[in-house]
Structure 1
Amino acid sequence: MKKYLLIAAIAFTAALSACEPSGKQNSNSSQANETTAGLQTDTAKVYNAYLQVKNDLVKTDGNAAKGSAGELAKTLNAIKGCAEATNLAKNMAATNDIKSQRILFLQLSQDVIPLVKGMKSKKETIYIAYCPMADEGKGGYWLSAQKEIKNPYYGDEMLECGEVKEEIK
Structure 2
Amino acid sequence: MHRMRIKQYLWIIAAGAVFTACQQGGKENTGTDSAAAANTLQAPFTDEYYDSLKVAMAAYYQLSSALVKGDTMGADIAAMALKYHMDSLPIARLGIDSSRAADLAVSTGSISAELAGLIIEKGGLDSRRSSFQMVSDQLYDLLQTTGFKGRTVYRQHCPMAFNNRGAHWLSDTTEVVNPYFGDEMLHCGSVTDTLQFQ
- Give TM class, smaller chain: 0.7 to 0.9
Aligned-residue CA RMSD (Å): 1.9
Show the counterpart of 2:98: none
Structure 1 position 132 matched with structure 2 position 159: yes
Show the counterpart of 1:26: none
Higher helix share: 2
- State the 1:120 CA deviation: 4.3
Structure 1 residues 167 and 128: CA distance shift in structure 2, 3 A:
same
Equivalent of residue 88 in structure 2, options 52, 64, 78:
78
- State the 1:46 CA deviation: 1.9
Q: Between Structure 1 and Structure 2, how many residues are aligned?
A: 135
**Counterpart AA for 1:92:** L
CA contact (8 A) 1:43 1:119 kept: no
Equivalent of residue 102 in structure 1, options 129, 154, 158:
129
- State the 1:106 CA deviation: 0.6
Render the CA deviation track for 1:59-99: whole Å, top value 9, x for unaligned.
11111101110101101112333111101112222227111
Distance (whole Å) between structure 2 residues aligned to residue 84 and residue 167 of structure 1: 23
Alignment of 1:14-33 (within 5 A): none
Equivalent of residue 149 in structure 2, options 115, 121, 125:
121
TM-score (norm 1): 0.72
Equivalent of residue 89 in structure 1, options 106, 112, 115:
115
5+ unaligned residues in a row in structure 2: which ranges?
Answer: 1-43, 90-104
CA contact (8 A) 1:44 1:116 kept: no
Distance (whole Å) between structure 1 residues aligned to residue 125 and residue 136 of structure 2: 16
Show the counterpart of 2:172: 145
CA contact (8 A) 2:67 2:182 kept: yes
Distance (whole Å) between structure 1 residues aligned to residue 148 and residue 191 of structure 2: 21
CA contact (8 A) 1:151 1:162 kept: yes
- State the 1:156 CA deviation: 0.9
- State the 1:126 CA deviation: 1.9
**Counterpart AA for 1:161:** C
**Counterpart AA for 1:143:** L
Identity of aligned residues (%): 28
- State the 1:152 CA deviation: 0.4
Show the counterpart of 2:71: 61
SS of match in other structure, 2:187: coil
Structure 1 position 50 matched with structure 2 position 76: no
Distance (whole Å) between structure 2 residues aligned to residue 157 and residue 38 of structure 1: 40
Distance (whole Å) between structure 2 residues aligned to residue 120 and residue 107 of structure 1: 20
Distance (whole Å) between structure 2 residues aligned to residue 115 and residue 39 of structure 1: 13
